[in-house]
Amino acid sequence: MKKPISKKPLKTTPRVEEAAGLRSIQSVAYHIWEETYIGRGVKTLFKLNQTKGFDCPSCAWPDPGPDEVSVVAEYCENGAKAVAWETTKYRVDAAFFDAHSVESLLDQTDHWLEKQGRLTEPFILKPGSSHYQPVSWDEAFAEIGRQLHQLDSPDEAMFYTSGRTSNEAAFLYQLFARRFGTNNLPDCSNMCHEASGKALNETLGIGKASVVLEDIRETEVLMIFGQNPGTNAPRMLAELQKLKHNGGKIIAVNPLPEAGFMQFRHPQKPWEWVGKPTQLQDLYLPIKINGDMALLKAIQKILWEAEKERPGEVFDLDFIREHTSGFEEVINDLDRVQLDVLVAATGLSLAEIRQAAEMLLTKKRIIIAWAMGITQQRNAESTIREIVNLLLLKGAIGKKGAGTLPVRGHSNVQGDRTMGVWEKMPEAFMKRLGEVFSFSPPKAEGIGTIGAIQKMLEGTGKVFFGMGGNFALAAPDTKVVFDALRNCSLTVHVSTKLNRSHLVHGKTALILPCLGRTEADLVENRHQFVTTEDTAGRIRMSQGDLDPASASLKSEVAIVCGMAKAVFGEDDAIPWEQFSSDYDLIRDKIEAVIPGFESYNKRIRQAGGFFLPNGSRERRFTTRTGKALLTVNSLNPNQLPTGRFVLMTVRSHDQFNTTVYGYDDRYRGIRNARKVLMIHKADMAAFGLSQGDPIKITSFFQGEERVLEGFSAVAYDIPPGCVAVYFPEGNVLVAVDNHSPESHCPASKYIEVVVEKINA
Ligand SMILES: Nc1nc2c(c(=O)[nH]1)N[C@H]1C(S)=C(S)[C@@H](COP(=O)(O)OP(=O)(O)OC[C@H]3O[C@@H](n4cnc5c(=O)[nH]c(N)nc54)[C@H](O)[C@@H]3O)O[C@H]1N2
Ligand SMILES: Nc1nc2c(c(=O)[nH]1)N[C@H]1C(S)=C(S)[C@@H](COP(=O)(O)OP(=O)(O)OC[C@H]3O[C@@H](n4cnc5c(=O)[nH]c(N)nc54)[C@H](O)[C@@H]3O)O[C@H]1N2
Ligand SMILES: [Mo]
């Protein structure tokens, strides 16, 4: 985090580059060349997202069905980068840790840490020592067992999950935690789509997307709120292109004009690399940060006025009557709210909003997609309920070409939740888990990410176990999280690569290196495969076939089972040993516990896998009223003292969450730098800032201040009053208590800040 990696000066180009195309192929080639042996890298890419291959470790965008799998690999630039990063030729071994103390590693950048390569064997940092040293797997598991048994209560342990973990490993992991006696299962979803799960469950009875890939091609209008698919779900662009070819329209709502929406060339269709790219967006609405709820309400109000004039032509009254509750209340609210108040809260003009409403007016097949721009907000849940309102008023759910599309992030984050990685799983799941494994799961609700940080700070959270991820940098309030982790008696991380969470550690620390997605998982000479769930709820198998980065790696499944044997003894009633030698046995148990997995082992072996049941796709709304809920959400516009900005933290094109591949944000024209603040040129002028000026950013939350220095100002096409920095650097500014009201999703896109020029 400290040393700048690049000696090259910051460069910006005003032009927003086109997305994908030849440039992305060049970038893929570069990353494969840099990181891996060319044969290994190319072989791997051809196995990506194929029926008999592995699931891309990058995003959770759905793969095409079995009939559509092309002969060419289904990959994108950033998926390829993720693969190159995992299949690297570099290694972090015992000699590496001999040469580098933890203290010296703390001075290195996050890019440098991961760039050192794959971890080769388990390592331990003993109390008071300066260097990690090798430790046997048995000794590592025994240490975990000793420390867990020393706790006064199982609730002093926390078991975090990042969303790359397979269904099989996640199921055993949550079983392990609950068998140990705690529901403390924080996960990356707590910081990601938690608000979507909350608001969708409440209003529609299911917290997942209601659409499948085919729906996108058939929609008349797709609205995309707060998502940058060109970088974070690049394969989505190819679907948007199909939608356009079918005559569909796209409305992009985003404070930034993201390249992916403007000009797209299919990276796997060379004939598109020259000539005119596809302009994906038909209407771009440069919304003020957190202005989305007001926009959604304004659109509904305009549609309602039109509906009153032409009854039945705008709203789907039959659907509303048959399938929803709350209509009267919602239209009364729409009558009450004033359009000019709503418009003012968006930062858009009335004409722009009318244009959006006009595009929706008579349309019946509408999809609304969203991601972190909506969920990491102080109004997240209300905004998502307004998305649902708009779809319900149009009857645009549970039919072809229509519905909700919360685009998931990590490749198996959705599957991990389905498997029970959640601090508050519903009672039916807990009951069934107890029946199938003959034990009493803990009753008390566990803690999520925010709760975990608080617990560690208070000293009642003593053992932090991370199944993947990089909690130290991903969680909000970096300095506070560092203090929290350092307060633990034991921190354990199951990882593929070295990261900051290994260096910001408890009294004792363990690094347990695991196989990646691309690698063969051989148990007693038999290949095991795992399964994952994508954004559209499709379950598929994933099987790597590369030789593992080191012979001492274990699969995540084997790690959970090894730890379980050390903690519960060899004679535990749960057959951990058998589970780790045959993953079919785990799937049989998943089938026994979780609805929708009937004939799991059989159906997963069919090409393309299978879809989980989805009530909202079939207009079965399992809510408290038995109908889809139209809700009234009161407006909560931004109110900032003069001189303050709202800051959002976003991903660059060269990263996967806390993994920094490089220092260029190609699509945004920013090069050789990550410590930049994007700010409107009028705001720059008003605050006396020039391009590249060194600045200090101070954030304010409930009377507290947090400071970030060493940044430069960059003029950018962003609404006045809004500014942006990159995640994870910006996490220093996110107060741990600054989160959405209902699901406690960190508001990492809503941070009040002041920007000041400093003398270099
Ligand atoms: N290559 C790559 N792929 C990834 C990831 C990665 O880091 N790299 N991360 C994965 C994960 S875990 C996730 S969750 C997803 C994240 O995917 P995204 O949600 O696309 O990620 P962010 O960069 O956080 O982008 C949020 C977008 O929201 C916009 N935004 C911010 N505030 C607001 C607002 O108030 N209103 C609106 N309408 N828009 C707003 C920003 O300008 C930005 O375009 O991607 C996944 N895929
Ligand atoms: N300010 C701010 N904070 C954010 C966000 C934001 O937009 N702004 N986004 C949030 C979101 S959406 C998310 S999802 C979280 C992400 O939070 P995390 O999931 O905790 O973080 P990652 O950066 O994805 O984790 C990277 C590490 O995972 C390990 N790893 C990689 N592959 C594997 C594997 O196959 N198995 C195992 N066991 N380990 C592996 C590597 O060691 C790597 O260093 O961050 C959140 N934090
Ligand atoms: Mo995420």
Same domain flag for 181 and 281: no
pLDDT tier at 488 (50, 70, 90 boundaries)? very high
Q: How far apart are CA 530 and CA 540, in angstroms?
A: 8
Tell me the average pLDDT of the chain: 92
In this prediction, residue 267 carries a pLDDT of 63
Pairing between β-strand 521-523 and β-strand 526-528 as defined by DSSP bridges: antiparallel
User: Which residues does a 6 A CB cutoff place in the pocket of ligand 1?
Assistant: 58-59, 78, 192, 225-228, 231-233, 253-256, 258, 287, 289-290, 292, 371-373, 377, 409-410, 648, 650-651, 655-657, 749
Secondary structure of 269-312 as H, E, C letters:
CHHHCCCCCECCCCEEECCCCCCHHHHHHHHHHHHHHHHHHCCC
Q: How far apart are CA 752 and CA 640, in angstroms?
A: 8
Same domain flag for 499 and 432: yes
Ligand 2 lined by 495 (C-beta under 6 Å): yes
Q: Which of 531, 566, 597 is the last residue of a domain?
A: 597
Q: Which ligand is nearest to the CA of 411?
A: 1
> Is residue 511's pLDDT more than 50?
yes
Q: How far apart are CA 124 and CA 135, in angstroms?
A: 6
Residue 230 sits in a domain whose CATH number is 3.40.228.10
Same domain flag for 490 and 377: no
Collapsed DSSP state (helix, strand, coil) of residue 339: helix
pTM over 0.85: yes
CB 754 within 8 A of CB 698: yes
In this prediction, residue 59 carries a pLDDT of 82
Identify the residue whose tokens are 């890019």.
Answer: 111
Interval 105-158: pLDDT, tens: 999 999 999 999 999 999 999 999 999 999 999 999 999 999 999 999 999 999
Per the domain annotation, does 534 fall within a domain? no
Per the domain annotation, does 638 fall within a domain? no
pLDDT tier at 28 (50, 70, 90 boundaries)? low
Q: How many domains does the chain have?
A: 4
Closest of 192, 83, 62, 154 to residue 538, by C-alpha: 62
Same domain flag for 335 and 464: no
In this prediction, residue 479 carries a pLDDT of 98
Same domain flag for 150 and 40: no
| Residues flanking ion ligand 3, Cβ below 5 Å | 192, 409
Ligand 2 lined by 114 (C-beta under 6 Å): yes
CB-side exposure of 172: number of CA atoms within 13 Å?
A: 31
Q: Which of 406, 428, 448 is the last residue of a domain?
A: 406
CB-side exposure of 547: number of CA atoms within 13 Å?
A: 6
Per the domain annotation, does 539 fall within a domain? no
Closest of 508, 472, 513, 468 to residue 488, by C-alpha: 508
Interval 670-700: pLDDT, tens: 999 999 999 999 999 999 999 999 999 999 9
Residue 658 sits in a domain whose CATH number is 2.40.40.20
Closest of 425, 458, 456, 431 to residue 183, by C-alpha: 425
What domain range includes position 455? 108-191+412-514+554-597
> Closest ligand 2 atom, CA of 734?
1
Residue 153 sits in a domain whose CATH number is 3.40.50.740
Closest of 73, 82, 72, 74 to residue 27, by C-alpha: 82
CA of 530 from ligand 2 middle (Å) equals: 20
Q: How far apart are CA 387 and CA 406, in angstroms?
A: 11
Ligand 2 lined by 548 (C-beta under 6 Å): no
Ligand 2 lined by 560 (C-beta under 6 Å): no
In this prediction, residue 265 carries a pLDDT of 64
Same domain flag for 487 and 571: yes
Per the domain annotation, does 519 fall within a domain? no
CA of 304 from ligand 3 middle (Å) equals: 35
> Closest ligand 2 atom, CA of 517?
35
Per the domain annotation, does 432 fall within a domain? yes
Pairing between β-strand 670-671 and β-strand 676-679 as defined by DSSP bridges: unpaired
> Is residue 634's pLDDT more than 80?
yes
Give the residue, by CA position, lying nearest to ligand 2 atom 37.
468
Same domain flag for 185 and 199: no
Q: Which of 406, 431, 457 is the last residue of a domain?
A: 406
Per the domain annotation, does 118 fall within a domain? yes
Q: Which ligand is nearest to the CA of 164?
A: 2
Q: How far apart are CA 51 and CA 335, in angstroms?
A: 52
Residue 527 forms beta bridges with which residues?
522
Same domain flag for 279 and 423: no
DSSP readout, 135-170? --HHHHHHHHHHHHHHSSSGGGEEEEE-TTS-HHHH
Same domain flag for 320 and 181: no
Q: How far apart are CA 19 and CA 573, in angstroms?
A: 54
In this prediction, residue 759 carries a pLDDT of 82
> Is residue 6's pLDDT more than 50?
no
Per the domain annotation, does 653 fall within a domain? yes
> Closest ligand 1 atom, CA of 228?
20
Per the domain annotation, does 222 fall within a domain? yes
Interval 549-560: pLDDT, tens: 999 999 999 999
Q: How far apart are CA 599 and CA 671, in angstroms?
A: 51
Mean pLDDT of 602-612: 95
CB 445 within 8 A of CB 408: no
Same domain flag for 379 and 400: yes
Ligand 2 lined by 183 (C-beta under 6 Å): no
Same domain flag for 266 and 316: yes
Tokens coding 689: 């800032």
Interval 45-95: pLDDT, tens: 666 666 668 888 888 888 877 666 443 345 678 888 888 889 999 999 999
Ligand 2 lined by 555 (C-beta under 6 Å): no
In this prediction, residue 80 carries a pLDDT of 84
Collapsed DSSP state (helix, strand, coil) of residue 477: coil
> Is residue 225's pLDDT more than 70?
yes
Same domain flag for 433 and 467: yes
